[in-house]
Structure 1
Amino acid sequence: MHIVARFAFAFASCLGFAAITQAACVDNVVLVHGNSGSPPDFDNTYVELRARGYTDAQILLPDWGSKTCAACNDHSGSEETPVANALNAAIASSCTGKIDVIGHSMGVTLAAREILKLGLAAKVDTFVGIAGGYRGLYSCGIYPYNVLTPTCGSNGLSIGSPLLNGLYAKKLATREYSIKSYIDEIVCSTGTCLVYGVHSSSIAGENASYTYPYYHYQLLWFTSILQADLIRN
């Protein structure tokens, strides 16, 4: 073969290999930020996923809730819509038919609520909850006593709220993981992280839980490699 022709063939082969690599079929990922947060909170996770070959179209970042009134946000109504839409869109465009979901803080319980409400658990391969108040927050009181804001109300994070009781021990995905800390200034703000003897960020029935000496947002920012590893297992 003529040298130019061989070069052209090799170049075309490389392009074909690159195209196949870029088109690798992986679960779409939905990243759900926390109360009064925003999608850029997941920047480290996004960069890690992109480095592993995920495309922008495979990473969905719903933006939900008030940014100026954290106490006004709960898990009902307008807060639900962006997350529900992202979950449905991720499933509809997934080449595997499955998705992975990673939530931070109140995004953990909001994502869990939408998965269960929409009947999507069979479509979720991996669920990762980071610094969530899955078992409630003592700073929100014990339902129905001393529940002063929507965030802590019946659709919020007071211990024993109807919302949390509706999530407890329900299967969210094929595999479930939590990432937690004993110095989390939000989850452990009252001096304890435990709710009835179990860390509030732990998910009942989870496959594993990972503990780090990080603060609330550091748990999200500094564990991006672990997050990516968990959804690719």
Structure 2
Amino acid sequence: MKIHFTLFVMLMSFATFNTFASSCKDAVVLVHGNTASPDSWDNTYELLLDAGYSSSEIFRPDWGSKSCAVCNNHSGSEETPVNQAITNAIASSCTGKIDVIGHSMGVTLAAQQISKLAVSSSVDTFVGIAGAVRGLWSCGVYPFNVWNSTCGYYGLSVQSPFLDSLYGTPLGAKVYSIKSNIDQIVCSTGVCSVGGVHSSSIWNEDASYTYVLGHFGLQTDTANQQVNLIQ
């Protein structure tokens, strides 16, 4: 009887562990773009819930001015909500790991905070959607033709000190980009590439996916792909 009971306990423990392991997921941080809001992630958020994530495992920091796009950059108050979301996500994640998905300026802002916090080892997957990690030609080439904060020293002008310092930074165990050649923001001048590489392509990425979608459709209409990439 003792042997049978012991075997029963072991089997139940194994089943409980497997159930926990299968339900335990990386916390997810979704970082919106310039002047956008957390609800711009609604398609992704709903799919994550359908995939078994709880709302407490999904972090959607709200950063930046909503009325002045040219006022936002990567220095100061814009940083704080993203920094806190990444910190809190890591602290609460049952796996000890997180997945980070950014859109537009949220890509570079999320990458900056991962670098500043030195937490790339805690990031399982980083997905950058329609980011300008190599700069925007519409912002000029630093320091020439830089006409606002978004394009300035801490902004997205090509070869800005901010982007130059960010380039090559480790972002996670797996890195993906989602991009388009008809992106109204990244390709607004008719040229999507910087130095022969699409500006939304991330250094040392594992794969890049190109869609025939505009800047905002890349966020809302690739939700399935986003969720698949972090599984």
Give the TM-score normalised by the residue count of structure 1.
0.90
Any stretches of 5+ residues in structure 2 without a counterpart? 1-14
Tell me the amino acid that sits aligned with residue 206 of structure 2. Answer: N
Tell me the equivalent position of 2:197.
198
| Aligned partner of residue 140 in structure 1, secondary structure | strand
Residues 23 and 205 (structure 1), Cα distance of their counterparts in 2 relative to 1, 3 Å cut: closer
| Aligned partner of residue 77 in structure 2, secondary structure | helix
Tell me the equivalent position of 2:6.
none
Distance 2:228 2:221 in 1: 13
Deviation at 1:74, TM superposition (A): 0.1
Runs of 4+ in 1 over 2 A off after TM superposition: 20-23
Distance 1:62 1:90 in 2: 11
Question: How many residues in Structure 1 have an aligned counterpart in Structure 2?
Answer: 215
| Aligned partner of residue 108 in structure 1, secondary structure | helix
Q: Is the 8 A contact 1:22 1:53 kept in 2?
A: no
Tell me the amino acid that sits aligned with residue 134 of structure 2. Answer: R
Tell me the equivalent position of 1:146.
145
- Report Cα offsets for 1:155-180 as digits up to 9, x if no partner: 00000011101111111100000000
Tell me the equivalent position of 2:127.
128
Tell me the equivalent position of 1:59.
58
Distance 2:116 2:153 in 1: 16
Distance 2:150 2:95 in 1: 35
Distance 1:124 1:22 in 2: 18
Tell me the equivalent position of 1:230.
229
Distance 1:95 1:161 in 2: 38
1:98 aligns with 2:102: no
Deviation at 1:22, TM superposition (A): 11
1:74 aligns with 2:77: no
Deviation at 1:148, TM superposition (A): 1.0
| Aligned partner of residue 114 in structure 1, secondary structure | helix
Tell me the equivalent position of 2:23.
24
Tell me the amino acid that sits aligned with residue 32 of structure 1. Answer: V
Tell me the amino acid that sits aligned with residue 29 of structure 1. Answer: V
Any stretches of 5+ residues in structure 1 without a counterpart? 1-15
Identity %: 60
Tell me the equivalent position of 1:89.
88
Root-mean-square deviation (Å): 1.5
Tell me the amino acid that sits aligned with residue 34 of structure 1. Answer: G
| Aligned partner of residue 206 in structure 1, secondary structure | coil
Give the TM-score normalised by the residue count of structure 2.
0.91
